[in-house]
């Protein structure tokens, strides 16, 4: 019989050693920093060379770019990591995709990493997993929970949106937090539950769970009233304090085909061409002043809507929705800096000059909300006295 192994030990003053899988442009690492965790990323892993260019530009360290499916349990043991952070590909679980789940080739590396846990000499103390809504009902999630439970982990799962953290950006995401026994969560009553509220991250009473934590908000949109005004996130502001915009993520970056990338310092490149406005007019969710979902500039926000993947048009009160009217109002894309702001990336985050505009949007679209992940990580890591 295999001897039971306890958690990796560390001295109180030593940093937590972290492995960052699917590191992208560094959203997890920025979240660690914002959470105030005394942590050291001993290695990051990503196969995307452009994402690694951005990561290296901002952190001075280039992630491991090999195929992580070739990693062995011994390889992982050599890092001596206390925590694994994982943000695996979301395409197998998106509503727009084929929904092959574990049958999708892009899910293989994640499952391979999880399957190595029982074979490591010293499994990580903690794991953190991020993915799209839909992952929670997938067979991949079921396999993950099975592996974690058999390896002596307890889990708490969340579906949370930046809207719940004061950011005017509607993007619910799935998160799994896992701790290996004898470590425990402050709110043990939340073990093995899927929660839709951030309250456990801030509540101090460890013995109670409020009603509704395990139920999705009845209307995400109402949360916008408690969010920061959109002006705070904008790079370009109009003289009338009214802006129209569309968020461009990886799903619709191809729509930038008519944008001139030669002059990145002018606002004109972000204006949506009339041909695209006419093409999208019937698909875009245009919000009017008399709508129950208020479209006033100070209450506008990103919203993922039907037919586009990630577009929002916000309009001025005198606009009635015709393409020509939208054209006159200068319907535009949010700039990469504005998208980074809505992801709550720090002001010093930058893209290297060699990264094209389209690549900036695609890389940001694959990243995560620091405003959401940082409190989750703060809740996951044991707090030092």
Residues serving a catalytic function are: 90
Q: Report the phi/psi class of residue 161: left, alpha or beta, with left for phi > 0 and alpha for psi in -120 to 50.
A: beta
DSSP 143-207: HHHHHHHHTTEEEEEEEE-GGGGT-SEE--EEEEEEEETT---S-GGGTT-EE--SHHHH---TT
Other beta carbons less than 10 A from residue 96's beta carbon: 8
The β-bridge partners of 246 are 333
* 296, 316 Cβ separation under 8 angstroms: no
Nearest to 43 by CA among 59, 71, 21, 25: 21
Report helix, strand and coil shares of the chain as percent, to nearest 5: 35, 15, 50
C-alpha distances in Å from residue 317, one per residue of 164, 236, 334, 369: 27, 20, 20, 30
Please tell me the number of Cα atoms within 13 Å of 153 on its side-chain side. Answer: 26
Show Cβ contacts of residue 5 under 8 Å, excluding neighbours closer than 6 positions: 121, 122, 123
CA distance 202 to 108: 35
C-alpha distances in Å from residue 33, one per residue of 28, 107, 380: 9, 28, 14
For 181-326, where are the E strands, in sequence order?
194-195, 245-246, 286-287, 302-303, 313-314
CA distance 97 to 90: 9
Q: Report the phi/psi class of residue 279: left, alpha or beta, with left for phi > 0 and alpha for psi in -120 to 50.
A: alpha
């Amino acid at each position: 019989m295999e001897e039971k192994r306890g958690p990796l030990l560390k001295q109180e003053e030593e940093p937590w050693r972290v492995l960052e899988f699917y590191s992208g442009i560094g959203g997890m690492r920025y979240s660690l920093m914002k959470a105030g965790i005394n942590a050291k990323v001993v290695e990051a892993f990503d196969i995307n060379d452009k994402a690694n260019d951005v990561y290296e530009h901002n952190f001075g360290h280039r992630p491991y770019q090999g195929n992580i499916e070739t990693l062995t349990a011994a390889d992982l043991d050599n890092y001596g990591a206390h925590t694994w952070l994982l943000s695996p590909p979301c395409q197998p679980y998106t509503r727009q995709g084929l929904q092959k789940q574990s049958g999708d080739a892009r899910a293989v590396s994640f499952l391979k990493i999880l399957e190595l846990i029982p074979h490591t000499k010293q499994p990580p103390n903690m794991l953190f997993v991020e993915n799209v809504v839909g992952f929670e009902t997938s067979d991949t999630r079921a396999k993950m929970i099975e592996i974690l439970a058999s390896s002596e982990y307890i889990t708490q799962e969340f579906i949370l949106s930046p809207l719940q953290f004061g950011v005017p950006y509607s993007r619910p995401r799935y998160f799994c937090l896992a701790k290996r026994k004898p470590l425990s969560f402050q709110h043990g009553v939340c073990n093995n539950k899927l929660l839709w509220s951030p309250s456990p991250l801030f509540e101090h009473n460890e013995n109670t769970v409020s009603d509704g934590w395990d139920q999705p908000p009845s209307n995400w949109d109402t949360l916008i009233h408690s969010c920061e005004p959109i002006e705070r996130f904008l790079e370009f502001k109009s003289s009338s304090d009214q802006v129209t915009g569309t968020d461009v993520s990886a799903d619709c970056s191809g729509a930038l085909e008519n944008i001139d990338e030669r002059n990145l310092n002018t606002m004109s490149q972000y204006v949506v061409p009339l041909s695209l406005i006419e093409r999208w007019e019937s698909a875009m969710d245009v919000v009017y002043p008399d709508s129950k979902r208020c479209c006033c500039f100070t209450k506008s926000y990103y919203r993922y809507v039907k037919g586009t993947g990630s577009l929002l048009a916000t309009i001025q009160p005198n606009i009635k929705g015709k393409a020509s009217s939208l054209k006159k109002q200068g319907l535009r894309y949010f700039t990469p800096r504005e998208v980074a702001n809505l992801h709550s990336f720090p002001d010093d985050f930058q893209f290297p000059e060699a990264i094209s505009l389209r690549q900036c949007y695609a890389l940001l679209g694959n990243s995560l909300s620091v405003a959401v992940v940082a409190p989750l990580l703060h809740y996951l890591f044991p707090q030092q006295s």
